[in-house]
Structure 1
């Protein structure tokens, strides 16, 4: 499991956590059961493009093939100062995890109706990491319940704020 690191200034290269991209739809479409941190195998121009803050996780997903975890459909645009050595924008990228974590993921994915969803990509201590989630897809009625619960919570907070202002 990933250790929590306090956020530092963007791009200082020393510790901290600089978010590159997030998958905002993931928490809406999936129920998150467990999260993992994985390293990503990248080529030089991909890292340079990520340092400029360019990436899209909208269609990204992860799979386990032959005991290795792969991140698929992640879009990292070409580095604009690159040459013929530029990378393919949507190539499959290998994720680095411990063997026991991969074996545990394989077991859980086979047992239940679960999938691996990337939640965010970030720099930590100069290395690119991906936060993966073991998730179960939500049905449309589950999404409606979550929206209703969020709206009710927002109304409660507003009402408490109104009452606190009235007493002052």
Structure 2
């Protein structure tokens, strides 16, 4: 079940590799994710001290979630990504290259009911690359319309 998608990620970045990571959440945050209250459009992934972190992702609180016994948590707090040590090392090496950035592409619940984040590692696109992407998208849209007209 898909929770959310970062629609701007493919437009702003040329994604080279993707990997799936678990995310460490509290109980009320899981309830918020099930309600679709996750925003990853401004988020990014960083590797610090051998751990991967999802930074600046917003999980809005849900009314009715049991908050007793828990500290009020900031909606934009950094959340730990659950990856194997080997995956963290390769992610860290890729991020050390010039101009590489790790951005969350989408979030979903897997078959076991666990929250997962798809992380894309890529290089930021220049303005002319973005224009080429728009041009290609418009051309494909026009082709589909023309083919639909004649079929």
Q: Is the pair's TM-score, using the shorter chain for normalization, greater than 0.5? A: yes
Taking the aligned partners of 2:143 and 2:62, their CA distance within structure 1 comes to 47
Gaps (5+ residues) in structure 1? Answer: 1-17
Structure 1 residue ranges, 4+ long, deviating more than 3 angstroms after superposition: none
> Alpha-carbon deviations, 1:80-138, whole Å to 9, x = none?
22335243211110001111111111112112321100011111121000000001101
Return 76-85 or 60-69, whichever deviates more: 76-85
User: Is structure 2 residue 136 aligned with structure 1 residue 149?
Assistant: yes
User: Is structure 2 residue 149 aligned with structure 1 residue 162?
Assistant: yes
User: Is structure 2 residue 118 aligned with structure 1 residue 135?
Assistant: no
Paired residue secondary structure (2:39): coil
- 1:1-168 residue pairs with structure 2 within 5 A? 18-81=1-64, 82-84=66-68, 85=70, 86-124=72-110, 125-164=112-151
Count of aligned pairs: 147
Structure-1-length-normalised TM-score: 0.82
Q: Is the contact between residue 46 and residue 87 of structure 1 (CA under 8 Å) also seen in structure 2?
A: no
CA RMSD of aligned residues (A): 1.4
Q: Is the contact between residue 43 and residue 87 of structure 1 (CA under 8 Å) also seen in structure 2?
A: no
Taking the aligned partners of 1:79 and 1:162, their CA distance within structure 2 comes to 46
Gaps (5+ residues) in structure 2? Answer: none
In terms of fraction of residues, the more strand-rich structure is 2
Taking the aligned partners of 1:139 and 1:126, their CA distance within structure 2 comes to 38
The structure that has the greater radius of gyration is 1
